[in-house]
Amino acid sequence: MNHPLFDLTGKVALVTGATHGLGMAMAKGLASAGATLVINGVSSQEKIDKALKEYKAAGFNAHGYKFDVTDEAQAEAAVKRIEDEVGPIDILVNNAGIIRRVPLLEMPLEEWELVIKTDLTGVFTMSRPVVRRMIARGGGKVINICSMMSELGRNSVGAYAAAKGGLKMLTRNMATEWAKDNVQVNGIGPGYFATSQTAPIRVEGNPFNDFIINRTPAGKWGDPDDLAGATIFLSSPASNFITGQIVYVDGGILATIGKPTNEA
């Protein structure tokens, strides 16, 4: 039985980009606390259907919709359809995003604009139709998925860092404008996690693998399941007086300047 402060039974949670990876881990966390899941994808219906099969195999009530979060008309139509077919959206997790690893002097303008549009503007276009309905019903929860790059720079990810830094401030401004309407808006900033995408570099002797383990006080990559607690907390009544905050789930990276590579 879920503790009442963390019980999401009867709630509908829309998690964008939750067909795989960290989005799926967060969505499973919400479902484990009782939420009905709605996931979104944009690349293919086949990918959405594959993800739904995994959710349902775990015993979760899940629904999937294909649409582009950066297209205002598609987002509005999708939200209306979801609320008609599944129910009012109580929780929105803005997780959909992309990254392009190209040095700034070499990045084509269209690539820069695509990252900003997806990772920052997409949160704006996705949130508004959901939050308008939340306000009309008396409240809701919004979680924006930020990043270590909301705080730190790194070579070759300038567009992504600009978008995620902007998303941190968009989160605070959303919180400022909507707090009086009982809509809490917070962010989660994942550190470095062991996913299928990072598997090729998570091998002993790989310089980036060694760097992350050395840079993280916990001394390891995060397990995607480690994101479930923060996601449930920020979606639940336990966080009703918390808004405008970014919770970094990073094993301590932002707490320290790091250590020399030869230090145990």
Active site residues: 160
Contact (CB, 8 A) for 201 and 109: no
> Which residue stretches of the chain are H helix?
21-32, 45-57, 72-85, 109-116, 122-137, 158-178, 207-215, 228-235
DSSP character string of 153-185: --TT-HHHHHHHHHHHHHHHHHHHHHGGGTEEE
Q: Quick one: tokens of 128?
A: 């508004």
Q: Give the DSSP letter of residue 222.
A: B
Residues forming beta bridges with residue 62, ordered by sequence position:
37
Residues forming beta bridges with residue 246, ordered by sequence position:
187
DSSP character string of 118-132: IIIIHHHHHHHHHHH
**Nearest one of 5, 27, 2 to 14, comparing CA atoms:** 27
Which residues, in sequence order, are CB contacts of 137 under 8 Å at separation 6+?
Answer: 88
